[in-house]
Structure formats: C-alpha cells, structure tokens
Amino acid sequence: MNTPHNPTGVVLSKEELQELANLATKHNLIVVSDEMYEKIIADETPHYSIASFPGMAERTITINGFSKAYAMTGWRVGYLHAPTAYYPAIFRVHQFNTACTPGFAQQAALTLLKDGERAVTEMKESFQRRRVLLQSALEKATNLTVMEATGAIYLFVLVQHNDSNIRDFALRLLDETGVACVPGTAFGSAGEGYLRLSYATFEEDLLEAAKRLVAYVG
C-alpha cells in the first residue's frame, strides 16, 4: 500500500487505514507500506502510518526515504523498518541488488536530518500553492475532471477524449502541444482515462502547460 499516494495524490484517512489493518490482522497478512511522501501533505491533512495501529507493528514493513521530502530523488537514499524476524530475508535480497550508498549522499542525508525541516516546510507550502494553481487552471475545461488530492506532488485527471486509449491520447498531446503527462495505465488498468500531472516545477510552467491542455481538450 502507498499513502500519500502516487499517482493520485490521495492520502488515506485513519478510518480507511483501520479497515486495511483489520483485514490484515484477520487474514494474517504482511503489509508493505510505502510512505515516501509522508512529509509532502497539504491543507494540514494528517498522515497515519499503518504500523502504528494495534496489532500492525509485528506485520508491517515500512518503506521511506529522502528522495521526495528532501528533494534528493537522484541520490537514492532510502530506508525501511520491519519486525526483526523479517530482516534475514530482506538482507539476502538487498545485498545482491543494492551497493553501498555513496558517502556524499549519506552526508547530505545526515545534514537534512539535523537541519532540514525548515526547507521541508517551505517546500510543502510551495507545493500547496502549485497544486491549487494547477487545479484551478484545469477546472476551466469541461472535458477534464480533477481528482481531489492533498498529498504527494501529483494530480490525477480524468480526460474525455476520442483516442482508443489514454496512452494514445498522451502521446498525441505530447506531439502536438509539447505537454508531457504520464498515462494512468502506466500504474495499472484502473488508470485508463486518466493522466498523472506533476506540479513539481515552476508556477509559470504549470500555468502554460495547463493553458495548452485546456485548449487542447476544449
């Protein structure tokens, strides 16, 4: 599971997570919880880790990292927390897939842990402005429906179009307008009809992209 969610930007509520926790404990399931965007949440929306729910600490593997919250995407510094019994198997997989994290990336991560919260707060405020700006611009089009989102750095947008599928539409949009979006089907068949738009860029670029997309779909 993934919350805040990529590609939709949705943040699961405490009640929704409790239902998942109930399901996991009832059927003795292991939960892998991707919480990479936990610090990137707008509108004071709370983030809950499912590992904190009763009965879940002993069955949850929590994955997180520095890529999103601290803008270190290319430096690949991540971490996980899991029950002790899971570590031997996790280590066997890890040691043959991942080399040692470079020293400079470790130093950067340490610096951010010590003195990075102000930058995170500023970035959250910036992302919130961009999200509202982009959503407002897209809502001008009758053929676009924006899914309500308060987390991560994406909007998931339902598009009314005449192509055979959303991937064909996304390729045509790129070719004819220069606007690059990820088709929703890149994340599974349930994403048919949707585009994922990232707002992790300059506000003027977002407005220009939205202007072109709105004009294109009508």
Is 1 a domain residue?
Answer: no
Residue 7, domain member (yes or no): no
* 124 and 189 inside one domain: yes
What is the pLDDT, as a whole number, of residue 42? Answer: 84
Question: Which residues on neighbouring strands pair with residue 81, listed in sequence order?
Answer: 62
Closest by CA to 38, choosing from 47, 25, 30, 29, is 47
Q: Give the pLDDT of residue 74.
A: 87
CA–CA dist 21, 18 (Å, integer): 5
Do 94 and 155 have their domain in common?
no
Residue ending a domain, choose from 76, 102, 128: 102
Residue 44 has pLDDT above 90, yes or no: no
At residue 178, the pLDDT reads 97
What pLDDT is stored for residue 218 in this prediction? Answer: 81
Query: What pLDDT, on the 0 to 100 scale, is given for residue 196?
Result: 98
Least confident of 4-18, 49-63, 68-82: 68-82
Confidence of residue 189 (pLDDT cuts 50, 70, 90): very high
Domain-ending residue, one of 102, 129, 150: 102
Query: What does the pLDDT average to over 172-199?
Result: 97
Count Cβ atoms below 10 Å from residue 52 Cβ, excluding itself.
12
Give the confidence band of 13 by pLDDT, cuts at 50, 70, 90.
very high
Residues 192 and 138 in one domain: yes
pLDDT tens for 114-158 read 999 998 999 999 999 999 999 999 999 999 999 999 999 999 999
Whether residue 122 sits in one domain with residue 95:
no
C-alpha to C-alpha distance for 137 and 155, rounded to whole angstroms: 12
- Which domain covers residue 33, as residue numbers? 14-102
Taking the CB of residue 116, how many other CB atoms lie within 10 A of it?
A: 19
Q: Which residue has the higher pLDDT, 101 or 182?
A: 182
Q: What is the pLDDT of residue 161?
A: 93
Question: How would residue 100 be classed by pLDDT, with cut points 50, 70 and 90?
Answer: confident
Residues 86 and 126 in one domain: no
What is the pLDDT confidence band of residue 98, given thresholds at 50, 70 and 90?
confident
Asked if residues 62 and 82 have their Cβ atoms less than 8 Å apart, the reply is yes
pTM: 0.88
In this structure, the dihedral spanned by the alpha carbons of residues 136, 140, 143 and 147, taken in order and rounded to 10 degrees, is 10
Indicate the residue type of 111: T
Domain count, the chain: 2
Asked if pLDDT for residue 43 goes beyond 80, the answer is no
